[in-house]
Structure 1
Amino acid sequence: MSYKQIKWMILLIPTLTVGLWEYIRHQFLMPYLSMDAGNWLTPVIVYLVSVTLLSRLFRMLEGARAALEQERASKTALEARDQLARELHDGISQSLFLLSVKTDKAGRSLAGTSHEQDIREIQKTVHEVNTYVRQSIAQLRYVPSPAADPEAMALQAQVESIVSDTVPDAHMDWNLTEVVFSAKEQVELLACIREALLNVRKHAQATKVEVQAEGNASHWSIHIRDNGIGIQGDPLLLKDRYGLRITKERAEQMGWEFQLDSTAGKTQITIGKELS
C-alpha cells in the first residue's frame, strides 16, 4: 500500500465507520436500542476501530515515511559522492596526468645524467598517487544495493570485479551471504580488499593468490593469501608502502581487526570482526 493510499484510508475509515453505524442504528436497532445507549456506543465503536485498524495504518504510515526519508538521505549522499568523484576526476586526476606527462618529458631529457634516478622516483610516486586517486573515484561512484540479501550479492559481485581487475587468476571462496554490511562498511571493505590485491600484484611476485571470506553476523573474516616473496621488515613502517598503513587505519576506524603475517612463500592479510 502506497503512502498516499494509507493517508486516505486513515481519513476515510472513521467517517465510513460512523456513517455505517448510524445507518444500521436508525434503520434496524431503534426498537431495541435507546438514544442514549446509541450515543454512548458511537465513540466506543470509533475507539475500537482506531485501536485495531487505524493504529496499524499509522504504523504502516510511519514505516513508509521512514523509508522515504532514508531513500532521500541516501540519494543526497550518493549525489554528494558523485559530485566529489567528478571534482577529483576533473581536478586532481587530470593534474596528475599532466604531471606524469611532464615527468616523462623530463626523464627523456635527463636520461644518462645524475638526475635520472630522481626522475624515476618522481614518476613512480606520481603513478602510485594517480592509481589511488582513481581507486577513490571508483569507490565514490559505487552504488550499494538497498535490500538485505541483494547487498550481500552486490558486495560479492563487487569483490569479484576487483579480483578480475587486479589479480584475474586469484581463487575466490566467498561465504559471507549471511552478513549484512551497511553502505559505508561495504565501501570501506572494498577499499581494503582492493589495496591488498594491488599490493600482491605490485610486490608479491606470486603465482597463487586466494581470497577467502567466511563467518556470520557475530564474527567474520576475509583473508587475502599469496605464495610470493613475502615482505622484508615491518611493511607498516616502510616509507613506500603507505597503502597498507591506510588499509589498517580504515579497518580500525570501522571497528574491525587487521592482521598481517608474512614469510617467504606465504603472506596473508586478514580483515575481520572478533578474529580468533
Structure 2
Amino acid sequence: MNTQQIKWMIFIVPALVIGLWEFIRHEWLLPYISMELGNWMTPLIVLLFSVFINYKLFQILERNQHELEQEKMKQAIINERQEISRELHDSISQSLFLLSVKIDQLEKNNEPQTYEQIQLTIDRLQENVRHSIKQLRTPNITNWKSAIQSTIEQLNSEKPEVEFYLDWQASESSFSSEEKVQFFWIIREAIMNILKHAKNVTRVTINASPKEIKVIDNGTEPSSFDKHGSHYGIEMMQDRAQSVGWKLTINRENEQTILRLARKEEAN
C-alpha cells in the first residue's frame, strides 16, 4: 500500500464506519437500542474503529516514510561517492600532467631544483589520493550522530591526548538526508584539520542544534584555517556547505578556533 492509498484510507475509513453502523442500527437494532442510546454509541464506535484502523495505517505510513528516507540517504551517499571519484580523477590527472612537464624540463635542463619540484608533486599526489580514499570509505550515516561518534573515536586514537565533547541538541529530523551527508564530511574534515594542524590542542567540542553546528578547539590558531588562504580542506567544506544552502565561517574567539555552520538566513 503506497502513501497516497494510505492517506485516502485515513479519510474514508471514518465515513465508512459511520455509514455501516447507521445502516445496521436502523435495519436490525432499533427494537433493542433507543435513538438516544444509539446517538451516544455512534461517536464511540467511530472513535474505536478509527483508532484501531488508523493506528495500523499510520504505522504503515511511518514505515514507508522511514524507508523513503533511507533511500534518499543511500542516494545522497552514492552521489557523494561519484563526486569524490571525479575529484580524485581530476587531481590525479592534473598531477600526472604536471609531473610529465617537470620531467621534460629535467631532461632538457638537468636542473637540481626540478627534482625537488617533482618530489613535491608526487607527495601532493599521494596526499590527495589518501585523502580521497579515506572519504570513499563511507560509514553508515543512517544514524548520523552515531556515525560522528564512531568517527571521533577513530580519529581520537591518533591523538589520545585530545578530549572530545559532543553537545548534541539536534534530532534526526532536524536536517535533510543531503544535509546529514554533507555535514558529516564537514565535521570529519574539521576534526582531521584540527588533529593535523592545530598546536597545543587539548579539547575539541562539537555543538549541534537545528540552526547551527560548531566545531571548537582550544589550540593555537593553525595556518590551515586562514580564511584568505587556498587550503583545499577549507574550500571543500565551504563548497559542501553552500551546496545545501548553509554558510561556513571560521573565526578566532577567546583563544579558540570556531568553525560555524549556519543556515544562510541565520548567518546573515
Relative to the length of structure 2, the TM-score reads: 0.62
8 Å Cα contact 1:174-1:213 kept in structure 2: yes
Residues 1:175 and 2:174 aligned together: no
Counterpart of 1:235 (choices 198, 221, 226) is 226
| Structure 2 counterpart of 1:238, one-letter code | G
**What amino acid is aligned across from residue 118 of structure 1 in structure 2?**
Q
Tell me the equivalent position of 2:118: 119
1:70 partner letter:
Q
State, as a whole percentage, how many aligned pairs show the same letter.
Answer: 13
Q: Give the aligned partner of residue 141 of structure 2.
A: 143
Asked if 2 retains the 8 angstrom alpha-carbon contact of 1:251 and 1:271, the reply is no
User: What is the RMSD computed on CA atoms of the aligned residues?
Assistant: 5.1
Tell me which amino acid in the other structure corresponds to 2:186. Answer: C
CA distance in structure 1 between the aligned counterparts of 2:41 and 2:220, rounded to whole angstroms: 74
Q: How does 1:82-101 map to 2 (within 5 A)?
A: 83-84=78-79
Q: CA deviation at 1:226?
A: 1.7
Residue 213 of structure 1 contacts residue 222 of structure 1 at CA under 8 Å; is this kept in 2? Answer: yes
Which residue in the other structure is 1:157 paired with?
149
- In the comparison of the two structures, how many residue pairs are matched? 249
Q: Distance in 1 between matches of 2:28 and 2:66?
A: 44
Is contact 2:202–2:218 with CA below 8 Å preserved after alignment?
Answer: yes
One of 193, 201, 216 as aligned partner of 1:208? 201
SS of corresponding position for 1:144: coil
Check whether the contact 1:231–1:262 (CA below 8 A) recurs between aligned residues.
Answer: no
| Counterpart residue number, 2:181 | 187
Letter in 2 for 1:261: R
1:69 pairs, out of 46, 64, 77, with 64
CA distance in 1, matches of 2:90, 2:246: 35
Secondary structure, counterpart of 2:238 in structure 1: helix
- Aligned-pair CA distance for 1:195: 1.7
Distance in 1 (CA, whole Å) between partners of 2:233 and 2:186 is 9
Matching of residue 245 in structure 1 with residue 222 in structure 2: no
Question: CA distance change for structure 1 residues 118 and 144 in 2, over 3 Å: closer, same or farther?
Answer: same
Q: In the TM superposition, what is the alpha-carbon distance from 1:191 to its structure 2 partner?
A: 1.7
* Residue 148 (structure 1) aligns with: none
Unpaired runs of 5+ residues, structure 2, are: 4-8
Matched residue SS, 1:268: strand
Aligned match of 1:271: 260
TM-score (norm 1): 0.61
Distance in 2 (alpha carbons) for counterparts of 1:82 and 1:243: 19
Letter in 2 for 1:255: W
Cα deviation digits, residues 72-97 of structure 1 (max 9, x gap): 32232244356557767988869989
Between the aligned partners of 1:57 and 1:160, the Cα distance in structure 2 is 44
Counterparts in 2 of 1:215 and 1:84: CA distance versus 1, 3 Å: closer
**2:63 maps to amino acid:** L
5+ residue gaps, structure 1: 146-150
